[in-house]
Amino acid sequence: MENYSKLLDRLKEITHLGRAGAVLGWDQQCYMPPGGAEERSEEFAVIGKFTHELFTASETQKLLEGAEAEVTNLSPDSDERLTLRMVRRDFDQAVKIPSALVSELAREEGLAHEIWVKARQDSDWKQFAPKLEKLLDLSRQKAEYLGYTDRIYDALLDQYEPGRTSAEVETVFNNLRPGLVKLVHDIAAAPPISDACLRRDFDEDAQKAFSEYVIGRLGYDFTRGRQDKAVHPFCTSFGRNDVRITTRYEKNWLPSSLMGSIHETGHALYEQGFAPGDDGSPLSNSASLGIHESQSRLWENIVGRSRSFWNIFYPELQQRFPGVLDNISLNDFYRAINRVEPSFIRVEADEVTYNLHIMLRFELEQAMMDGSLKVADVPEAWNEKMRSYLGIVPENDAQGCLQDVHWSAALFGYFPTYSLGTILSAQLYEKAIKDNPAITTDLENGAFESLLEWLRTHVHRPGRRYLPAELIERICGEPAQSHSYLNYLNSKFGALYGLS
């Protein structure tokens, strides 16, 4: 299969070029001085343009068509057929977008990040608004080139969650909202839980050391990764053997770094877990960002906020911070780390209210994209939705509409995947326990290998062989559903708050 082999070689070169750009992106968020933003944006533009042009070139098309002809007699489930299905999908979308637009978007994203950082620091939406206007305009152009049937937002959502539409996401949220609202209401009527012990003085160096100890125990391979500090936590991959994560530290709020590190480790375990034989191929990638998020939310919440987890790690935490938690019992700490209360910052929201933060962003993004919400009016609209959904109003823009990095990277359509992944995390965990009940005992003993191996086998190693809906059906024997997630929440928080 000469064409197939040559196509894979060409795609590997394109992948390597894209990863070089990813290294520059990691550097910008972790180490680059702010003054380098303009030159870095030009570097992003060049790499984005070259990568796009190499992929959409006539030579790629000829190799793809020749490879498709070579594999017609193979099984539809063969790696060759599955690979070409994904490449064809990507190619047919990419050729619709002019390389000049790809280049301009990359350039503007590079500039926007530093403007967002400064605007967030100054809590000043007006600093960021003009750049957001530009990114929205370019994203609308991209969506028009891609095409859509119903809403312009659908074209962008499909980039992150293939096959999903805005209407489907709304249905998911509509099915989820009543159960969440009832649980929030019931918890609000119960005696409150204090999280004051999490707001004590936690040395940053000790936070770093403890978080790295924990994520190493979970299975993060530091010989193939590292953790750094960034304004907004993220995970980035330059290949299965170089997967990096970041976190941020707050001296008087322990969960910021600790739970952020565990969350990003969930992403990293996925990236480090792709099949070795797929290295550099189109299959060595995630099925979707919703599937990706299912991994981070599973490890952060279902594992990292569980009683069995803290039975193992709380004594070590007390030792790492001598005198800070000596008078706090394991039970009180466990309750504190799971406290439910409406809060301003999405990445630090509790499990029950988290999806309300996503619904807010999903609705605002659609309104900005279709033009019904002006960029200048975003702070007011944001605050009103916070009041409506969570009963609180941010004191400033940094606490509200400037808290997330995503809009500075033109990641419109990304936010719904957080909720889709959160819901899937419970469904996947439930199936893992059903397949291997010993996982529960292992977790109680501080052994995470059996859960990780189940995820490696069923979620990680398949990579991008299947569309997300196909993958979930193959793993769970049913489509994605929300009742596992609602059952998990009601069981856990019903016990925590003594609900009937």
Q: Cβ neighbours of residue 284 under 8 Å, at least 6 residues apart?
A: 239, 240, 274, 275, 278, 463, 464
* CB-CB neighbours of 324 under 10 Å: 17
Catalytic site residues? 264
Alpha carbons 247 and 259: distance in angstroms, whole number: 9
Q: Please name every residue paired with 246 in a beta bridge, in sequence order, or none if there are none.
A: 228
State the number of CA atoms in the 13 A half-sphere of 307 facing the CB.
9
State residue 257 phi and psi, 5-degree precision.
Answer: -80, -45
